[in-house]
Amino acid sequence: MIRASENQEFYELDSPTLLPKASGFLWNEKMMIHMNCRGYAVAQYMQPEPAKYSHAPNLEAKTFMQPEQPYYAHHPGRFVYVKDEESGEIFSAPYEPVRVPADRYTFAVGKSSIVWQVECGGVLIEMSLSLPKEDPMELWRVKVTNLSQKQRILSIYPYFTVGYMSWMNQSGEYHEELQAIVCSSITPYQKYQDYAKIKEFSDKTFLLADRKPVAWEVNQEVFEGEGGITGPSALREAELSKGDARYETPAGALQYRIHLSPGEEEAYRFIFGPAKNEEQVAQIRSEYFIKDNANGEDGFAMAEREYDQYIREGKGCIEIKTPDPDLDNFVNQWLPRQVYYHGQTNRLTTDPQTRNFLQDHMGMSYIKPRLAREAFLIALSQQKSNGSMPDGIILHQDAELKYINQVPHTDHCVWLPICLSTYLDESNDYAILDEKLPYADGTESKTETVLEHIHKAMRWLASDRDERGLNYINQGDWCDPMNMVGYKGKGVSGWLTIATAYAFKVWADICERGGQAEVAKEYRAAAEATNEVINRYLWDGEWYARGITDDNVVFGISSDREGRIFINPQGWSLLSGAADPEKKEKLMRAVTEQLETPYGVEKLAPSYTSMREDVGRVTQKHPGSAENGAVYNHAAAFYIYALYAVGEKDNAYRLLRKMLPGPTMEDIVQRGQLPVFIPNYYRGAYRQFPRTAGRSSHLFNTGTVPWVYRCLIDGLFGVQGTPEGIRIHPQLPSEWSEATVTRDFRGAKLVIEMKREPGVQSTEVYADGIYLEEGILRNITPDTEYSILVRLPETV
Amino acid sequence: MIRASENQEFYELDSPTLLPKASGFLWNEKMMIHMNCRGYAVAQYMQPEPAKYSHAPNLEAKTFMQPEQPYYAHHPGRFVYVKDEESGEIFSAPYEPVRVPADRYTFAVGKSSIVWQVECGGVLIEMSLSLPKEDPMELWRVKVTNLSQKQRILSIYPYFTVGYMSWMNQSGEYHEELQAIVCSSITPYQKYQDYAKIKEFSDKTFLLADRKPVAWEVNQEVFEGEGGITGPSALREAELSKGDARYETPAGALQYRIHLSPGEEEAYRFIFGPAKNEEQVAQIRSEYFIKDNANGEDGFAMAEREYDQYIREGKGCIEIKTPDPDLDNFVNQWLPRQVYYHGQTNRLTTDPQTRNFLQDHMGMSYIKPRLAREAFLIALSQQKSNGSMPDGIILHQDAELKYINQVPHTDHCVWLPICLSTYLDESNDYAILDEKLPYADGTESKTETVLEHIHKAMRWLASDRDERGLNYINQGDWCDPMNMVGYKGKGVSGWLTIATAYAFKVWADICERGGQAEVAKEYRAAAEATNEVINRYLWDGEWYARGITDDNVVFGISSDREGRIFINPQGWSLLSGAADPEKKEKLMRAVTEQLETPYGVEKLAPSYTSMREDVGRVTQKHPGSAENGAVYNHAAAFYIYALYAVGEKDNAYRLLRKMLPGPTMEDIVQRGQLPVFIPNYYRGAYRQFPRTAGRSSHLFNTGTVPWVYRCLIDGLFGVQGTPEGIRIHPQLPSEWSEATVTRDFRGAKLVIEMKREPGVQSTEVYADGIYLEEGILRNITPDTEYSILVRLPETV
C-alpha cells in the first residue's frame, strides 16, 4: 500500500518489496542523498566537486548519478541489526541486509526527513534521517521500543557502510574520546600538480554517537566473517571485537546492549559524514551533542529544526484544490520542492549545463526570484562577445567544463529569452534588461546591457545557419546526444531551427514590453521567415522532421523504420507558429498515435535498436532509455506547455497527469517509485518492449519540473503575470467543474475560485466582485488579499 | 591444509576459508584471469586496451588491478548452484555464494588449469577452468557425480556473473540456436571522435553450453529475487523463467535437471567470454563444440591441450634438486611460469613502463631469448636522440602513455645495460650491439647502432645531474612515487646516482666484451668518479641516504623519524662498488636491524604515517602498503642479488627464502596466498603494525621474478653465461651439503652435481671428470649433455 500521510507531509509505503527502489531525497547546500526504502543510500557531497563518504565495495567510477541505479548486497547503506540476546535471532532495519519480513513496516518520505518504522518479533525500530542546512552530514535517530509483553535483552548494532575508500591509504579506528568511529583515506592521484587540491579534501568518514557503545567494529571483513553481510559472524559473539582496519575495508558498526521492560524504549542519535580531520569531528560533537541553547535544545535538534525551516522556504507560489487529490498533493507538497532543489543547488555541480542552469532558474523565478535574477546575470556574463553561450556555466573558481560539457552544443542561446520571460512575468523586473555585464572573452570594463547581450545571442542564432536558413546542429542540441548528425559542419537541427523561431517571438514580446517596439517587429519578422523555412524543408506531410544530416538525409520522417517521429519539433512548432491549424491537427494526431503511452509521451519512436551512424550516440542508447525513446519528461513537459499555448486543455491535462505516477497502484508499481518527484524519464519503447515501459529512472535532476510549473501557471490554472498585473485565464480540463487556487504574486495573495456555471459563454473574471477586462487584475498592492471568482462555461 | 600434488603440477588447498583470497592465475595472449578459491574472478582482456566481460555490480573505475583486492557478495564470479529436487536443499560450488561448508573440498591450482572438487551431501561437483592459447575466453568443465547410495534428482545451475555492463545500453537474451546466453552492451562515450574505437569493441558477453539446458535466466534481479545471491528465489521454482534482461543487469544462469543413479556422473562444458556479435558466438560454437578432428577430439579439448602445451613452453633454464623441497617446487614449477608470463604478455598493457618492459625481457632472456632480443630493439627504437628513454614503450599503434607513464621519471636509461647484460650472458649475441635503429624523434632512415644508442643513454645519465654530480630525480625514479622530492628541478636521487654508477660498470663490461676496451675504461672511470660523489654526499654514517630534496634536505637518514632507511641505495651501493668493506658491513647490519622482517626486507622503515610534503606521494600511501614500507619484492630481490654479488651467500639465501610463502602453515596463512607466485609485495611496517604485516598484495605483475631468476643463475647456483661459455660458481648456503642443477644453456644440457666434500679448500669444477680453470666450461656444443661436478668446501 502507498498513501499520503494524513497531514500530507509524508508519502508512505508499507512494504520494502513492493517498490524495491523507492527512495526519498534529501539535500542541502553541500550534499544530496537518495535514501532507499530498504536501507541503501546514494549520497554525494561537494568539495568542491562531487565526492563520497560512503563508498562502494570496489573502486567505483567517478561519474554522474546513474539512471535506474542497480542495488546489490554490498551497496552502500545505513542499517541497524537487532539481536535478541536470549534467542540469538537477528533482523535488520529497515530491511536490508538480513531481509527478515517485518510484522509491520512503514517507509515515510517527507520533505525534510525520511522515517521508518519496522516492527519485528515485538521490537519496534524507528529510524529517521534528516540533514543540517549547510554541512554535508547525515543526522540519524534510532529508537528501539519493546512492544512485547516481556522483558527483552537486545543488542542493537547501527551499521553504516564506509566501503572501499582508496587503494592508496585507508584505515579505521574507534576514538574513545570522540565516541566516534573515524575512517581515514587519501585520495589517489598521479600528477604532483593535483596535490594542492587533494590535500584539502575531507577524506575521512566519521560515525559519531551521542551514547557510548559497549563495543564497536571498524573492519568490515571481521564484522561479516563467513556469515557475510546478511548474517554477520560478529553478531554471534557477545561483543564486537573493538578492532581496527589497516588498509582493510573500513566499516562503522557500534553495539548497544539494552534491557527493555514491556513498553520501554531507548533512543539514540548518530551523525555520519565526511570530515577533514579528527579535530573537525570533535568540533561537530561539541556543536551537535554537547552544547545546549537557552531552551535546552542541543545542536542536533536545532539543526533538524533549521533544516525543516530551510526546506519549507522552498514552497511554491500556488496552492490548489481540484477534483484530482493526487495532483493537489503533488503540486502543493512535492513539485515546488523539486523546483526549489534545482534552483538552490544547481544540481550539485560546479559547471551546470547552460540550458539546465537557465531552466532551473526559470523555475526559481517562482520561488526565490532574487536568486533567479543573479543566475541569469552570471550566465550572461559568461557569454562570448560573438553572442554564443558556453556549454556550461562555471560556478566555482576551480571548476572546469567536464563530461558532456566538453562537447559543443548549439542550442544554449534559445533558452535565454524563453527562461527570462518567466522571470519577467513573475517579477516585472524589466530593469534587469539594463544591467551591464562584461563578456567572457572581453575585458571586465567593457560591459553591455542584458538587452544587448540577448540581442547578440539572437543574432548568433540567426547567423549559425546554412544557406537554407536552417540552424546547424554541430555535435548536439537540447537533450539529444545526436552527436553525428552534423559534426562535419553541414547537418542541421529541425528542432533548433523551430526553437530559434520561438525564441525570436518570445524575445520580440520582451523587447516590446521593455519599450523597444521597433526591434520587436524585426524579431517577429525573423520568426516568420524562419517558420517559412521550417515548413519548406522540414514538414514531412504529417509531422515535422527532426533534422537533416551532414549528407543531406532528412530524418525523423515517415519513411524511417526507427526514429520516425520526434516529439520536440512537433510541440515547438505549435509555439513558434510554424504549424497552421491543419498541420497542428495532423501532428497532434501523429503524436497521439505514435508517441503517447500510458506513462506519457515518448521522445521519439520507434526507439532505435541499432546504430545509425549518421545520427550517432542516441541510436546506441538502450531502446526506451534516456533519450532513445524514453518518456523523457523534460521534452514531454514542453509538449504539454505547447498544447496549453494553443488551447488544447484536455489533451494537455491527460498528458500532464500521465507524468505523475499513479493514480492506480498497478501504475505506481510499474513505474517503481513513490509519487514524490518527477524523474527525468520513464522507460519508453512501449510498443517495442512493453514489459519494462514506464519504469522510473529514479533520477531527481531534471529540467522537467520548472516546465510543469509553467504548465500550471501559464496553462492549466492560467495565473500568469503580465506587465500590468496578472491575467487570470484557466484552462481547466473539461471533466473538472471547479477548482480553487491560492496564488502568491508580487507580494499579494489571490484566492481564486474557478467554477463552471450554466449560461457562461466565455471565461469571466471578477476581483472582489468587480469584472476584470481581459481577465487582468491590475495595480496589485503587496500585502493585500484579493478574492477572485472565475466563471467558466460548462462543458458541452 | 596446503600441499603440492604428487606430480607437483598443482598446489592444493583443502578449505575455502583458510586462505580466502587464494587464487590461481591463468593467462594467454589476450587475457588474464585471477580465479579465487571461493569462485570469485578478476578477469580482463585486451581490445586493445584492458576491458572486461564480467563486470562489477556497479560502474567500476577503469584502472590497474588493485592490490589486496577486496571481494564482496556480488563480486564477479563463476558459480554452480546445486539443488536437490527432492529435499529442496541447495549448495553452491566452489563455495560462494551460498557458503555451505563442503564435506570435502579441494582447490588445485595448476599452471594451465584450475580445478575444484567440492563434495556436499553426497554430490560431487568437479569444476575446471582452462583457456585457449590465443582467444580471450574461459573454458569450463563441470562434472556432477552421485556419490550417495541412492538415486538423486538434481538441478544444476551454472551461474556466470555478467554484471553492470553499461549505463548506455545493456541487455541479455538466450539464443536457442546457439545454446548460448548472449548479453549485449555498448560502451559509453561522449566525444564523437571516440566512436571509431568504440565501434570495434567486443561489447557482448556470452555463455555457450555444449548441452541444451532445460531453462535459463538472463536477468540478475529476477534470478535473485528476495532470496538474494546467497539463496536465489528462482531456485525455489521448478524452472528458471527463461526471461530476458532489458537494461536490467544481465546474468548467465542455465539449468540442467538430471537423474543420477549411485555412482553415476554427468559432464558439461561451457565457454564464457567476450564477443563482437552473435555470428562470432556461432563461429566459436562451431569451432569448439561441433567440429571434430581426426582423433574425434573437438575444438574445446584441442584448445585445452594446446594451451597446456603453450604454458609448458615457458619452462625455465634450470631444474633443481636441493635440501629445500619447497624451493625446488617453486623454482621448477612456478617461478619460470611467472617470468614467462611477463615476457609473453607484457603485463597485458599496450604501454608497459620502460623499466618494467626491459626487466621483463631480461627474464625472457632465460626462456625465449629471441623475444627478448626483439623487445630490446623495440625499446631502443623509441629512445629519443638526446639519449633519454620514454616513460613507457608503445606496443600497439593506437596505444598512448597512460596513468603513471604520464609522469616523468629519470631512471629508465640505467636499465638498458643492466637488462641487456643478462641477454648477452645467456645468448652471447654480441651482434645485437651492431643492430641499427632509428630514434623516436628522428627519421626512419637516420639510424645508429645499439652500441651508440646505449652510449647516448649513458651520456644522458651523466648529463642529467646537478653541480655536485648527483642525478636529478624530477618527479620520480624506480618504484618510488616520490613525486615531490625534485619536481622543482633541483632535488636528486641517491639511488639513481648509485644505479648510474652501476650501469656504467655493467656497460663497461659489455663494451669490453664487445671489443671496445678503451671506451670501457672511460665508463669505469665515470663509475668510480660517481662512487666518490656518492660517498661524499650520501653516506650517513651507517648507511646511504635516499636522496636530497629541492630544498637541499637529505632524507632517508638516521635523524629522520620515518623513512630513515631505504633498501635500494644500500644494495645498489654494493653493486656499484661505492661501499667499501667497512661501509658494507655497516649497511648490511642496518638493513638487518631496521628492514628485515619474517616476510622479507622492507623497502623503507619506519613507514611514513603522515604526509611529508618534500617527499610526496609515497608518504601518503598506507603504512606498509606498496612502496611505503612494504616488503616490496622487486627491491628486495635486487638487494639479494647484490648480496650474492659480494659473496654474502647465507644472508642472501635467508632473504630469498623469506620471499616465498612458507614453509610453515602459520606463515602461509599470514601471507594469505598459495606458494605459486611471488606477489609484488607483502605488507610491511612490521614493527609498527605487526597484525597485518606479511599479507600478500595478490598481484601477479612484478619485476621481482626475473631478478629472483638472476639470483638463482648468477648467485645461488652460479651458472651464469660468459663470452667463453659458462662459469660454474655456486654459492650454496652453508646449511646445504649438496644440490643438483640441470642447466639448459645455448642448446646444451649441463647436469651439475654440487657437493660439499672434506678437504676441499675452494670451489673445484669438473666437466666429465676434467678440471675447469676458473670454473668455466668453454666451447659448448649444442645438443650435448655435460656432466659437471662441483666440489665445495665443507661449512665450518
What pLDDT digit, counting tens, does each position of A276-312 carry? 999 999 999 999 999 888 888 999 999 999 999 999 9
Question: Could you say which DSSP state residue A796 is in?
Answer: -
* Peptide bond before residue A48 is cis, with ω within 30 degrees of 0: yes
**Percent of chain A with pLDDT strictly greater than 70:** 100
Best CA proximity match to B530, nearest among B503, B549, B553: B503
For range A379-387, the mean pLDDT: 97
* Peptide bond before residue A481 is cis, with ω within 30 degrees of 0: no
Q: Which of B480, B540, B560, B714 is catalytic?
A: B480
Neighbouring-strand partners of residue A146: A123
Cα–Cα distance, A58 to B117 (Å, whole number): 29
C-alpha cell at A378: 552570471
Same domain? For B107 and B226 the reply is: yes
Residue A228 included in any domain: yes
Q: What is the pTM of this model?
A: 0.96
For range A524-543, the mean pLDDT: 98
> Which residue of A lies nearest to B186 if distances are taken between CA atoms?
A620
A751–chain B Cβ distance below 8 A for any pair: no
Cα–Cα distance, B750 to B728 (Å, whole number): 10
Same domain? For B57 and B118 the reply is: yes
> Which residue of A lies nearest to B191 if distances are taken between CA atoms?
A407
Domain count, chain A: 3
Q: Among A400, A433, A464, where does a domain finish?
A: A464
**Percent of chain A with pLDDT strictly greater than 90:** 93
Cα–Cα distance, A437 to B558 (Å, whole number): 61
Confidence of residue A645 (pLDDT cuts 50, 70, 90): very high
Same domain? For B244 and B374 the reply is: no
Best CA proximity match to A487, nearest among A423, A549, A411, A577: A549
Buried b (16+ CB within 10 A) or exposed e, A72-108: bbbbbbbbbbbbbeeeeebbbbbbbbbbeebeebbbb
DSSP states of B600-625: EE-SEESPP-S--TTT-GGGGSPTTS
Tally Cβ neighbours within 10 Å of residue A534: 26
Model confidence at A572: pLDDT above 80: yes
Structural domain containing residue B251? 2-303
Chain-chain contact of A60 with B57 (C-beta, under 8 angstroms): no
A403–chain B Cβ distance below 8 A for any pair: yes
A324 belongs to the catalytic site: no
Q: What is the CATH number of the domain that holds A778?
A: 2.60.420.10
C-alpha cell at A792: 467558466
Query: Tens digit of pLDDT for each residue in A227-272?
Result: 999 999 999 999 999 999 999 999 999 999 999 999 999 999 999 9
Backbone angles phi, psi at B618, to 5 degrees: -60, -30
Contact list in B for residue A59 (CB cut-off 8 A) is 60-61, 63, 66
Q: What is the CATH number of the domain that holds A230?
A: 2.70.98.40
Chain A residues 670-729 within an 8 A CB cutoff of chain B: 683, 689, 691-692
Residue B75 included in any domain: yes
Contacts of B619 (CB under 8 A, 6+ apart): B562, B563, B608, B610, B611, B612, B628
Contact B767, B788 (CB under 8 A): yes
Best CA proximity match to B393, nearest among B432, B360, B421: B360
Q: Which of A391, A480, A540, A714 is catalytic?
A: A480
From the list A199, A247, A691, the residue facing B622 with the nearest CB is A247
C-alpha cell at A508: 520580440
Cα–Cα distance, B547 to B497 (Å, whole number): 9
For range A194-213, the mean pLDDT: 95
Contact list in B for residue A406 (CB cut-off 8 A) is 190-191
C-alpha cell at A213: 557503545
Same domain? For B427 and B282 the reply is: no
C-alpha cell at B532: 666518490
C-alpha cell at B479: 618504484
Best CA proximity match to A633, nearest among A669, A673, A691: A673
Same domain? For B284 and B399 the reply is: no
Residue B459 included in any domain: yes
For range A326-337, the mean pLDDT: 96
Same domain? For A386 and A258 the reply is: no
The residues of chain B scoring below 70 in pLDDT are none
Same domain? For B361 and B238 the reply is: no
**Best residue in A620, A689, A697 for a mutation probing chain B (most B CBs within 10 Å):** A620
Cβ neighbourhood burial of B252 (10 Å; 0-12, 13-18, 19+):
buried
Amino acid B190: pLDDT: 84
* Peptide bond before residue B323 is cis, with ω within 30 degrees of 0: no
Contacts 24+ apart (CB under 8 A), A696-700: A696/A21, A696/A68, A696/A661, A696/A671, A696/A672, A697/A67, A697/A68, A697/A626, A697/A630, A698/A21, A698/A23, A698/A34, A698/A67, A698/A68, A698/A69, A698/A672, A698/A673, A699/A65, A699/A67, A700/A25, A700/A32, A700/A34, A700/A338, A700/A341
Same domain? For A66 and A169 the reply is: yes
Cα–Cα distance, A712 to A708 (Å, whole number): 6
Contact A141, A264 (CB under 8 A): no
Residue A532 included in any domain: no
For range A378-401, the mean pLDDT: 95
Q: Among A444, A464, A484, where does a domain finish?
A: A464
Residue A418 included in any domain: yes
Same domain? For A130 and A195 the reply is: yes
- Give the distance from residue B230's alpha carbon to the nearest chain A alpha carbon, in angstroms: 9
Residue A113 included in any domain: yes
Backbone angles phi, psi at A296, to 5 degrees: 75, 15
Backbone angles phi, psi at B718, to 5 degrees: 50, 60
Across all residues in chain B, what is the average pLDDT? 96
Residue B771 included in any domain: yes
Query: Tens digit of pLDDT for each residue in A456-510?
Result: 999 999 999 999 999 999 999 997 789 999 999 999 999 999 999 999 999 999 9
Across all residues in chain A, what is the average pLDDT? 96
A633-645 vs A567-576: helix axis angle to the nearest 10? 30
Q: Among A421, A441, A464, where does a domain finish?
A: A464
Contacts of A563 (CB under 8 A, 6+ apart): A546, A555, A556, A604, A605, A606, A607, A608, A612, A615, A619
Chain B residues 117-176 within an 8 A CB cutoff of chain A: 164, 167-171
Neighbouring-strand partners of residue A184: A171
Q: What is the ipTM of this complex?
A: 0.95
Question: Could you say which DSSP state residue A704 is in?
Answer: H
Question: Could you say which DSSP state residue B101 is in?
Answer: P
* Peptide bond before residue B663 is cis, with ω within 30 degrees of 0: yes
Residue A507 included in any domain: no
Confidence of residue A7 (pLDDT cuts 50, 70, 90): confident
Same domain? For B390 and B444 the reply is: yes
From the list A59, A192, A692, the residue facing B246 with the nearest CB is A692
Cα–Cα distance, A413 to A394 (Å, whole number): 16
C-alpha cell at B232: 536465489
Find the helix or strand (DSSP H, E) in which A128 lies.
strand A123-130
Same domain? For A107 and A242 the reply is: yes
Least confident of A380-384, A399-403, A462-466, B54-58: A399-403
| Region of residue A474 (phi > 0: left; psi between -120 and 50: alpha; otherwise: beta) | left
Planar angle of CA A225, A51, A34, nearest 5 degrees: 75
Chain-chain contact of B167 with A692 (C-beta, under 8 angstroms): no
From the list A170, A228, A407, the residue facing B99 with the nearest CB is A228
Number of H-type helices and E-type strands within chain A: 18, 40
Chain A residues 754-793 within an 8 A CB cutoff of chain B: none
Cα–Cα distance, A584 to A630 (Å, whole number): 23
* Positions of E strands within A220-328: 245-246, 250-260, 265-275, 318-321
C-alpha cell at A65: 548519478
**Best residue in A167, A670, A681, A696 for a mutation probing chain B (most B CBs within 10 Å):** A167
Same domain? For A297 and A392 the reply is: no
Contacts of B390 (CB under 8 A, 6+ apart): B354, B382, B383, B384, B401, B412, B440
Model confidence at A191: pLDDT above 90: no
Amino acid A296: pLDDT: 87
Q: Find where cell 616513460 sits.
A: B391
**Best residue in B68, B170, B190 for a mutation probing chain A (most A CBs within 10 Å):** B190
- Residue type at position A678: I
Amino acid A404: pLDDT: 87
Chain-chain contact of B169 with A620 (C-beta, under 8 angstroms): yes
Contact A456, A387 (CB under 8 A): yes
Helix (H, G, I), strand (E, B) or coil at A145: strand
Contact B754, B792 (CB under 8 A): yes
For range A71-77, the mean pLDDT: 96
Tally Cβ neighbours within 10 Å of residue B29: 16
* Positions of E strands within B416-567: 436-437, 448-449, 492-493, 547-548, 554-555, 565-566
